[in-house]
Chain A
Amino acid sequence: MDLIFNSLPLLARGTLTTLYLSAGAIVLATALGVVLALLQLYGGFILRALVEVYLYVVRGVPLLVLLFAMYYALPYANVQIEPITGGIAVIGLYFGAFMTEVVRAAVLSVPRGQWEAARAVGLTTPRILLDVVLMQAVRMAGPPFVNTCIMVVKGTSLVAIIGLADVTYVGKQIVERTLAPFEIFGAVALVYFVICFGLSRLGQYFERRLNYVH
Chain B
Amino acid sequence: MIDFSFLARVAPTLAEGLATTVLLAVPAILLSAAWGAVVVMGLLARSRVLAAVTRGYVEAVRNTPVLVQMFFIFFGSGYAGYPISGFTAGLIALVVQNGAYAAEIYRGGIRAVAHRLAEAGLALGLTPRRAFRIIVLPIAIRNVIPPLSNQGVLIIKDTSLVATISVAEMTFHARLLADRTAAVFEIFFTLALFYLLLTALFTGAMRLLERRVRIT
A and B pair up: yes
Residue numbers of A with Cβ under 8 A of B are 56-57, 59-66, 68-69, 72-73, 76, 150, 154-155, 157-158, 160-161, 168, 171-172, 175, 179-182, 185-186, 188-189, 192-193, 196-197, 200
Nearest to B71 among chain A residues (CB) is A185
Given the interface pairs A62-B158, A62-B195, the reply to whether A192 lies near B184 with Cβ below 8 Å is no
Residue-wise, chain B 34-72 has the 8 Å CB interface mask toward A (1 for contact) of 000000000000000000000000011011111111011
B67 touching A157 by the CB < 8 A rule?
yes
Q: Tell whether, in the assembled complex, residue A192 and residue B188 are in contact, meaning their CB atoms are under 8 Å apart.
A: no
Is B153 on the interface with A (CB-CB < 8 A)?
yes
Residues of chain B having any CB pair with chain A under 8 Å: 59-60, 62-69, 71-72, 75-76, 78-80, 153, 157-161, 163-164, 171, 174-175, 178, 182, 184-185, 187-188, 191-192, 195-196, 198-200
Distance in angstroms between the alpha carbons of A62 and B191 in the assembled complex: 10
Knowing A175-B75, A197-B63 touch, does A192 contact B68 (C-beta < 8 A)? yes
Provide the bound-state CA to CA distance between A172 and B76, in Å: 12
Indicate which residue in B71, B153, B159 contacts A59 across the interface (CB closer than 8 Å).
B153
Residues on the B chain within 8 Å of A66, using CB: 192
A73 to B188, CA, bound (A): 9
**Is the CB–CB distance between A61 and B192 below 8 Å?**
yes
Pairwise interchain contact A182-B79, C-beta atoms closer than 8 A: yes
Question: With A72-B178, A168-B65, A189-B69 given, can you name 19 additional A-B contacts, CB distance below 8 Å?
Answer: A56-B196, A60-B200, A68-B171, A68-B175, A68-B178, A68-B188, A72-B187, A160-B67, A161-B164, A168-B67, A168-B68, A168-B71, A171-B68, A182-B79, A182-B80, A185-B75, A189-B68, A196-B64, A197-B59
Residues B64 and A73 in contact, CB atoms below 8 Å apart: no
**Are A59 and B199 in contact, with the CB atoms below 8 A?**
yes
Least CB distance from A53 to B in Å reads 11
- Whole-angstrom distance between the alpha carbons of A175 and B60 in the complex? 22
Residues of A within 8 A of B78 (CB): 181
Instruction: Given A62-B171, A171-B68, A171-B71, decide whether A185 and B76 contact each other with a Cβ distance below 8 A.
Output: yes
Q: Are B184 and A73 in contact (CB under 8 A)?
A: yes
B65 touches A186 (CB 8 A): no
Whether B184 contacts A69 by the Cβ 8 Å rule is: yes
A76 to B189, CA, bound (A): 15
* Residue of B59, B184, B191, B195 ringed by the most chain A CB atoms within 10 A: B184
Which residue of chain A has its CB nearest to the CB of B170? A65
Name the one of A59, A172, A179, A189 contacting B64, with C-beta atoms under 8 angstroms.
A189
Interface centre among B65, B157, B171, B192 (most CB of A within 10 A): B65
Assess whether A193 is in contact with B60, with CB atoms less than 8 Å apart.
yes
The verdict on A185 contacting B68 (CB below 8 Å), with A59-B199, A68-B178 known, is yes
**Which of A59, A76, A182 contacts B185 (CB under 8 A)?**
A76
Residues of B within 8 A of A192 (CB): 63-65, 68
Give the residues in chain A near B59, CB-CB below 8 Å: 197
> In the complex, what residue of chain A is closest to B77 when comparing beta carbons?
A181
* Chain B residues positioned under 8 Å from A157 (CB to CB): 65, 67-68
A140–B173 alpha-carbon span in the complex (Å): 43
B184 touches A186 (CB 8 A): no
Which of chain A's residues has its CB closest to B69's CB?
A: A189
Rounded to whole Å, the gap between the CB of B150 and the closest CB of chain A is: 9
Q: Please list 9 pairs of residues, one from A and one from B, whose beta carbons are closer than 8 Å in the complex, sorted by A's number.
A: A56-B196, A57-B192, A60-B195, A60-B200, A62-B171, A66-B192, A181-B79, A182-B80, A189-B69
